[in-house]
Each structure stands twice: as structure tokens, then as C-alpha cells.
Amino acid sequence: MPHTIDTSTDPQVGYRPPGSLDAASALQPYDGRFGPRQAAHLLRRAGFGGSADDVARLASLQTRDAVDTLLHPTAPDLDFPAYPAADVLYDPKRARAAVQSAWLDRMLRSNRPLVEKMALFWHGHFATAIGKVPPQYMAAQINLFRAQGLGRFPALLGAVTRDPAMLIWLDNRYNAKAHPNENYAREVMELFALGLGNYTEDDVQESARAFTGWTIDKNGRAAFVPARHDDGSKTFLGTSGPFGTGDVIAIIVSQPVHQRFIVRKLLEFFVYSDPEPELVEATAQVYALSGFDIAKTVGTILRSNVFYSTRAYRALPKSPIEFAIGTLRYLGVSAVPPNLVYQLARMGQEPLNPPSVKGWDGGPAWINTSTLLARFNFVNGLVAQTAPGKNGQPAIAAPNANPDTLIGRVGMNAAKVAAALVSGAVQDDVTSDVRATLVGYLNNVTPTAAMTNPLPFGPENYQDKIRGALALTLNLPVNQLD
Amino acid sequence: MKRRSFVTSALSVAFLGGNASVALAQVARGTAPLPSFGTTGDPEGVLVVIQMGGGNDGLNTVVPYADDNYHRYRPGIALAPEQVLKLDDRIGFNPALKGLDELYKQGKVAVVQGVGYPNPNRSHFEATQIWETASPDRPQQYGWLGRYLDRRYPTGSKTPSLFEAVSLGDALPAALVASHVEVPAIGALGAFGYNAGRDLAVKQSAGVLYDGAKAGQSPYLAMIAQTARDAYHGGDVLRAQTAAFTNQATYPANGFAQQLALAAKLIGSSAGSKIVFVSIGSFDTHAGQRAQQDRLLGYMGDGLLAFYADLAAHGLDRKVMTMTFSEFGRRVAQNASNGTDHGTAMPLFVIGGGVKGGIYGDHPSLTDLDHGDLKFSTDFRSVYATVIERWLGRDPGPVLGAAYPSLAFV
């Protein structure tokens, strides 16, 4: 069975070699075992992971129903404000951090994680940065991605064209008949909708004329000023007419190159980093037939054989945001730590501040010595803070990191503690020597050099040792992979 | 990718027991490559880049004190002729730059006048991107130094040191973003390392886990495990490599000068850094400019004086070139709050024992202005091209995408 996770041999799951995709069945609904591994995989990709209980709850469902809980959530979300309070939002000293933290808070606590995950996807796709764009507009843009990120792509691209943050970011507010500015049109072609090589310089210039007229009014809202719009005839991708924004978008989405371009990015985000041309083609057909419906396309992907294939499993390096929010969700932390934005910047992904209009490189580029140290030290610091400080600092509430709860469940037994940690945190995706090292750590027998606490695992030291083993588990290389 | 054999060999010795840091230091000394800049005639110098963030006002840095227009445009913030450190009968340094002036008198400072580029951008964000990616017309993914490193060390070839190029600070500047060469960002020596708090056993067990991490069949797991090993041991290696280097100058007690002290350690020790990026911020002097800019220029001049005294004591002052840049200069006329707003061209400094000191280019005219802004006379990419070709010893064309005339400061 090429599309199931092989748990019969080494739990370090085997990967299907590239090139053996069964294109006919790749997007068919998966009907194999849907256990904790598959549920955790779905929760990581279509959300930000979760606690062991979250995984168990999802694993009790059928694949289709599990996907539906993420794709079509029925319960209302928590009551998140659309914007930070006005006194903060317009305070240049506080607004940036407040808008960044508010979004991280939603990623952490929302019961609609796929909505936030799609917002993160579109933030990387339509990469806009707070360095040039004032915070209130950045907040509005993320609200837009949240509202329309699972809608139809033409409507989304139209809304992005009218989005004040984007009008500022790529200067389309200055794009007028008298002095065209091609910045936005060029990126729509190259980065947002078609990809390099699928248009000409003439197409950039002609579509820039079609995108004229948008500006920002004195209330900070997008406004269309007909006098600034060039209503003459344009020739764009082989057709001619007095095109405006909607016409250009309609022409773009009708192009097979666009359909392949956009579904390739979805496949790279949700499945694996180098999707086969046949898989791209098959997904592009789903996308086109659905009327460019992102939810239907993503739903097909999340239910498919290829999504649950061994090749997709643990196949993507986690982004820093996925890693950090996933860690907090796993531990049951219910508030974003105050320095998380700073720590994410050290890990290489400050939210709302992508390095360029191309977004973050992602994939293996997330991982280097500096960024990995930042991840390790984030986990170590966070887990340490789940215990009260030596000088009486209050602990961060993290119910799933509570050593007493774990001992109550498995007993005062190092081997069972280690087994519970690798099962809960990484779904047993480790080799036996990792378990042995953790048991050795718990019993203070593993390393040879000086011990801070030489006692074997027991009532005197289980709290510190469990926290230490938890940090070691969360910092395993395999936990850097989604 | 990014495998580094010295780290792997270091750890296999270190965990045989005994004093790990001594073992690491020995291994690091034995296996890490020594800096190659000792060779006579080797064109490959060490480059330190100083970013003056915020847009430094050039006219109050290299002051046209003899020009009446200067005093007319800036009644509240102009420096009087008797205050400046005169370079010739027309221009002089801001007196806060007395440290730099001393280096200038030693013949170690080139002042490149009127540096800029066509259609200047006045956004901090975009202008910084332009300078750091050397690309005014189009955003670029990789920085100018990143592109140099990528070409210098093509995919599959290792850099001689894990710390070949480093950024001193918490984030990696756009200039050093590379496609495959890894550039660590080091805030401080102490912060670059695996921090497990007080539980030594956690740190030791982490080392066991990373050293023993199986590659598995995931395409990325092997890379992550290798990077985890490098990251885990890198801080120890760095501390061991730099331990033998003692700064031989007293650096001022500010963050910028302390970055330069660390830069000297990285360059002069077996860490062997060849490119070091340092930054000093807050030059965005829209109001009350004099006090703020003078303080920052003082940090710069005094810090550089200590840096070159330190390097000279180690016999390295001819091997290390330092260049400054800022995303833009400021407008010629001051504003109503004794500050200046975002402008265009500015002078930059190139410093070092291997630099031909002097003034390069004319001071920009204060009468022939472009809507109140200085006109540039030297494209900043000419400075980059000169550095790459004559100091780093490589062809600048592929890095910069076009040919720019070289300058004579080296």
C-alpha cells in the first residue's frame, strides 16, 4: 500500500521514493487507518498541532469527519477583537507589537486553526511587511485573509488589490493614468498569480494600466477614483478590451498556468515540497472545476491518499510560527508569552515582517545553526518557566506539562514517563536509542560527566527530571518536522 | 548541506569524558582552519561593514564649514568653522569624530563623498533593502554579501569556518542573506549557545540525542540532525576558538564598541571570520539632531579608534577593512525642530591599514540641488565593486549584475 504510514517496521516512518506517485488515486479519499499519527499529521498541517488530548479526540473520528471539523467548524470561535484597542493601535510605540501578538494569540487559542493557518499561508504568499505598512493596515489585511482565505481566489485577489495595506506596500495607490506604477501589476504576475515565464513585459504594463485608479481616502479606506483610472483598451495575455481590475483577474484565473501555479503552492504548503507534475495537474483540475474555490481544493488535499502517504509524513520543516505555536498548544499554555515575537524573530520568522515581497523562503531555509539554537532555547526557557522561579516568579500555566499529572497517569517509572513523552509529543516517531537516552537522563545515568542531581528517578527529583525530558523531547530533530 | 567536519570531530573527542571545553579547544585549534590572511600578496582581506541605521546626516558628519550656504540652510544646527576637525580648507569632521580624525591622520581613512544612486528612495525600509541588496530597481532575495558568499562557496563547498561571515546582533541583515551559505547572527558570545539553564544533565543528554540522531529517510531529517549538532556544539566551539584571543585595547562602554571588540575576537582568533556585520542605530534625527548625532558619531569614532588599536596590537590592522553605510543622507535644509528630514547622498568611510587614506570625490554642491536634496556623484555599487574586486579578490560583476567603475581607495 503506497499511501499508508508504515508502522510495522521502524517507527521512523519509511518514505515513498519520489516518482512512484499513483496519479489516478493520489487525490482519491484516503480510507486507510486514521490513528494518532494521521490525526496529529492533519492537525499539524491544517492547524498548529495540539495537545495529546486534541490528537486523541481527532483520532476517534473518520478521516472525512476529522477534516470537516477543521474545514467547516460549527462551534463559534472565541470572542477575539478585530483590532487592538484604539489607544494602542494608534500608539506608534505599542501598535506593532500589539498587532503581532494579537495574531499569535488567535493562532494559539482559536478553535478554527485552519482559518488562521490559511491566513498565515496567504500572509506568506501576499507577503506584506509592517516596516512600510502601518500596523492598523496590517491588522486589516490579516482580517481579510481570515475572512476570505478559504473563499474563491478571484474574490481574494480582488480584495487584496483593494486592500490599503497592499496599496501602500506595492505602491498601487500611486498608480494612475497619468503616471502608471507597475510595482503591483508585476508582483501579481510574478509572485501572486502566474509565476515567472508565464507573461511578458507588455502584460505587466497593460495590466498596470488596468489596476489604475485605486487610492486610499482620508479615512484610510480604499477608494476608486475614476479620473485616475485608465479606461482605454488594453491587450493582456492575448485578449483586448477596456479592462479594469476584475477583468484582469478573470483572465488570470482562466489560465492553466495560473491554476498550476496556485495549487503548487498549496501542495508545497500542505503536502510536500516538490509535488510531482501529475499531482499538480490533477489538483489544478480540482481547483478549476470548483470555480477556484480554495476550501474545496484544500479539502480535497486534506482528505486525499497523497496527504496521508509516507512521503508526506514528517516531510516539511516546521516554520518558526508552527514550531512555537505548536509547542504552546501541546503544553496547554493559554497565553502568548510576552517575548514571543522577539523569539520568533530570532528563529527567522517575525510575524507581519517577511524579509521581502517574495515572503519567507521556508522549507530547509528555516533551519540554520542560529535559528535552531533559538528554537532550542525557546523550548528550554518555556519549559523551565512552567515551574515557579527560584525567586518566587509565578509559573506559566501549562497543564500538559504538569509532572504530577503525568506521574498520576503512568506511575513513578522512568521508562513509562519516557514512553508517554515520545508518544504524546512526537507520536513515537523515534528510534529505540532515543527512548533509552531519555530513560538514562531521567535516571541520571546517561552522560558520564558531573551530575547536578545524581539520584535515580524518584519522588525527590521527578518534577525537574520530567521537565528536562519534556524539553529534550520537544527539541528532537524529528519535532522540527511537520 | 552545511556539514562541518570540525564540529563532528570536536564532539567525538569531547564526549570521551574529561574536561569537555579543554578537549573542544584542542580540537578546534587542531582542525579548524587558520585565517588565511597572513599570506603576502593575498588579495583576500577581512571586511567589517558598519550599518549606520536611520539615515545619517552627511552634512554634519563631513562638514562643508567654509560654505556660506551650509550655515544659511542650517542656522540652528550648523557647526561653526572653529568647531570642526579640518580636513582641508573647505571641509572637516564633526568634532565628535575625533577618534576617526586620529585614524585619518594616520592615513587609514578614505572619505568617499556624495555616495548615492539614481532615483533615491526615502523610505527607511526600502532604502535599506536597496543598499543591502545593491538593487535600486527591483527587490532581491539575497544580499550583496550573501551573493558574494554564495559564489565564493558554491553549493557543496564548505566555508572554511562556521563563522566565515557573521552578523553581530539578533537578526540577520538583508546584506548577509544568502541562498546556501549559512551566516550566524551572534548577539553576544554568551547568548550563542545551547542554553539548558542550570541542569547540566539536560545539556549533556541533548548532545547525546543530536550526536546519535539517525538520518531516517526523510529528506530533511539528516540536514536538521546535522544542523542540530552544529548548533549544539557551535557555541562551545566559538567560545573555545575565541578564548585565546585577548582584546589589547580598552573599548568604550557602549554596545557598538562592544560589538567591535567581539568582531576583533572573531577575526583574530581561530574562528577566522572574514566578513563581520556591525550596526549602530538611531541616526533618524528629525528633531534635536545635534545632541543625538554627535553622541552616535562619538561612539563610532572612539569605537573604531579602539578597534584599530586592538587590531594593530595583534598585527592585523592592515588585514581588516571597515566600511560604513547608511540608507540615506538627510535634506540640506534643517527643519523647524532643529533636525533634518530624509534626504539623499552622503559620505561613507572606508577604514584600515590597507586603505589609501584621503578624500575621494568632491563634496556635493549646496547650490546645484535636486528639489532641496544633494546630488550624488559616486554610485554606492562602485564602492561595493571596489571592495569585492580589490579587497576580497573576486570579480564583482556576477555579484552586482553589472560593471561599476572602481575607486582608488585600495
**Residue B216: C-alpha distances to residues A196, B220, B377 (Å):** 35, 9, 57
Q: What is the residue-averaged pLDDT of chain A?
A: 92
Say whether A193 sits in a helix, a strand or coil. Answer: helix
Q: Is the pLDDT of residue A42 over 70?
A: yes
Query: Residue B69: its pLDDT value, please?
Result: 97
Determine the pLDDT at residue A331: 98
- Considering only CB atoms, which chain B residues are within 8 Å of A440? 205
Residue B307 neighbours by CB distance under 10 Å: 28
Element (H, E) at B126: helix B124-133
Average pLDDT over all residues of chain B = 86
Q: Following DSSP, what letter does each residue of A345-381 receive, concatenated?
A: HHHT--TT--SSTT----GGGG--HHHHHHHHHHHHH
- CB-nearest to B224 from A345, A367, A451 is A367
Distance between CA atoms of residues B374 and B331, nearest Å: 7
Other CB atoms within 10 Å distance of the CB of residue A67: 26
When pLDDT is cut at 50, 70 and 90, the band that residue B22 belongs to is very low
Q: Model's pTM, two decimal places?
A: 0.82
What would the mean pLDDT of B71-91 be, rounded to a whole number? 97
Lowest mean pLDDT among A270-284, A444-458, B182-196, B338-352: A444-458
C-beta of residue B167 within 8 angstroms of C-beta of residue B173: yes
Residue B43: predicted pLDDT? 57
Q: What is the pLDDT of residue A85?
A: 95
Tell me if A441 and B202 make a contact (CB, 8 A cut-off).
yes
DSSP element (H, E) containing B349: strand B346-351
Q: Give the whole-angstrom CA distance, residue B32 versus residue B265.
A: 15
Q: Which helix (H) or strand (E) holds B323?
A: strand B320-325
Tens digits of per-residue pLDDT, A237-246?
999 999 999 9
Mean pLDDT of A451-459: 74
Q: What percent of chain A has pLDDT over 70?
A: 94
Cβ proximity of B175 and B143 under 8 Å: yes
Distance from CA of B84 to the nearest CA of A (A): 36
- Reported as a pLDDT band with limits 50, 70 and 90, residue B19 is very low
Q: Residue B352 gets which letter from DSSP?
A: S
For testing contact with chain A, the best of B142, B166, B177, B205 (most A CBs within 10 A): B205
C-alpha distances in Å from residue B258, one per residue of B8, B176, B188, B261, B307? 31, 21, 9, 5, 10
Instruction: Tell me how many residue pairs between chain A and chain B have CB atoms under 8 A apart.
Output: 163
> Given CA atoms B41, B44, B48, B53 in this order, what sign does their dihedral have?
positive
- The 10s digit of each residue's pLDDT in A97-131 is 999 999 999 999 999 999 999 999 999 999 999 98
Question: DSSP assignment, residue A276?
Answer: -
- All residues of chain B having their beta carbon less than 8 Å from the beta carbon of residue A438 are 205
CATH T-level fold of B36-191+246-400: Alkaline Phosphatase, subunit A (3.40.720)
Average pLDDT of span B259-284: 95
Q: Is A450 on the interface with B (CB under 8 A)?
A: yes
> How many beta carbons lie within 10 A of that of residue B256, not counting itself?
22
Helix axes A320-331, A340-347, angle to 10 degrees: 140
Supply the pLDDT for residue A454. 67
Cell numbers given for B164: 566565515
Kindly indicate the confidence band of residue B18, based on its pLDDT and cuts at 50, 70 and 90. Answer: very low
Within an 8 Å CB–CB cutoff, is residue A315 touching chain B? yes
Q: Which residue has the cell 530533511?
A: B220
Could you read off the pLDDT of B370-379 as tens digits, one per residue? 999 999 999 9
3-class secondary structure, A18 = coil
- Mean pLDDT over residues B22-28, rounded? 33
Note whether A315 contacts B219, CB cutoff 8 Å: yes
Residue bearing cell 521556508: A362
In sequence order, the β-bridge partners of residue B358 are B110
Contact B228 A372 (CB under 8 A): yes
Average pLDDT, stretch B258-270?
A: 96
Cβ atoms of B302 and B256 closer than 8 Å:
no
User: So where are chain B's domains?
Assistant: 36-191+246-400
**Inter-chain residue contact A481 with B182, CB threshold 8 Å:** no
End-to-end CA distance of chain B: 35
Task: Check if A408 contacts B (Cβ < 8 Å).
Answer: no
Q: For chain A, how far is it from start to end, CA to CA, in angstroms?
A: 22
Alpha-carbon Rg for chain A, nearest whole angstrom, is 24
Helix (H), strand (E) at residue B348: strand B346-351
Strands A234-236 and A239-241: antiparallel
In whole angstroms, what separates CA B135 from the centre of its chain?
19
Helix%, strand%, coil% for chain A, nearest 5: 55, 5, 40
Q: Are strands A222-224 and A214-216 parallel, antiparallel or unpaired?
A: antiparallel
DSSP, residue by residue, B92-113? EE-GGGHHHHHHHHTT-EEEEE
- The per-residue pLDDT for range A284-295, each reduced to its tens digit, is 999 999 999 999
Question: pLDDT at position B221, please?
Answer: 87
- Distance (Å) from the alpha carbon of B155 to chain A's nearest alpha carbon: 14
Q: Is the pLDDT of residue B37 over 60?
A: no
| Residue of B220, B226, B230 to mutate when probing chain A, most A C-beta within 10 A | B220
Chain B residues inside the 8 Å CB shell of A431: 214
Candidate from A361, A372, A476 with C-beta closest to B227 = A372
Distance CA A432, CA A358 (A): 41
Q: What integer pLDDT is reported at residue B233 of this predicted model?
A: 87
Q: Flag whether pLDDT at A65 surpasses 60.
A: yes
Contact (CB, 8 A) for B400 and B139: no
Query: Distance between CA A168 and CA A129 in Å, rounded?
Result: 10
Given an 8 Å threshold on Cβ–Cβ distance, is B218 in contact with A384?
no
CA–CA min distance A48, chain B (Å): 20
Cell 551572534 belongs to which residue? B186
Segment A423-438 mean pLDDT: 92
Interface test with chain A among B183, B221, B233, by most A beta carbons within 10 Å? B221
Assess whether pLDDT exceeds 60 at residue A363.
yes
> What pLDDT, on the 0 to 100 scale, is given for residue B215?
60
Cβ <8 Å between A15 and B208: no
- Hey, where are the domains in chain A? 23-75+256-303, 320-480
The answer to whether residue B42 scores a pLDDT higher than 60 is no
A11 pLDDT above the threshold of 90: no
Q: Is the pLDDT of residue B48 over 90?
A: yes
Could you tell me the three cell numbers for A193? Answer: 498569480
Q: Which of A314, A431, A475 sits opposite B206 (nearest CB)?
A: A475
Please, which residues 81-140 of chain A have a Cβ atom closer than 8 Å to chain B? 129, 131-132
Mark out the alpha helices in B192-254 (DSSP H runs): 200-211, 221-243
Higher pLDDT, A450 or B44: B44
User: pLDDT confidence of B189, banded at 50, 70, 90?
Assistant: confident
pLDDT tens-digit series, residues B210-222: 887 766 656 788 8
Strand, helix or coil for residue B50: strand
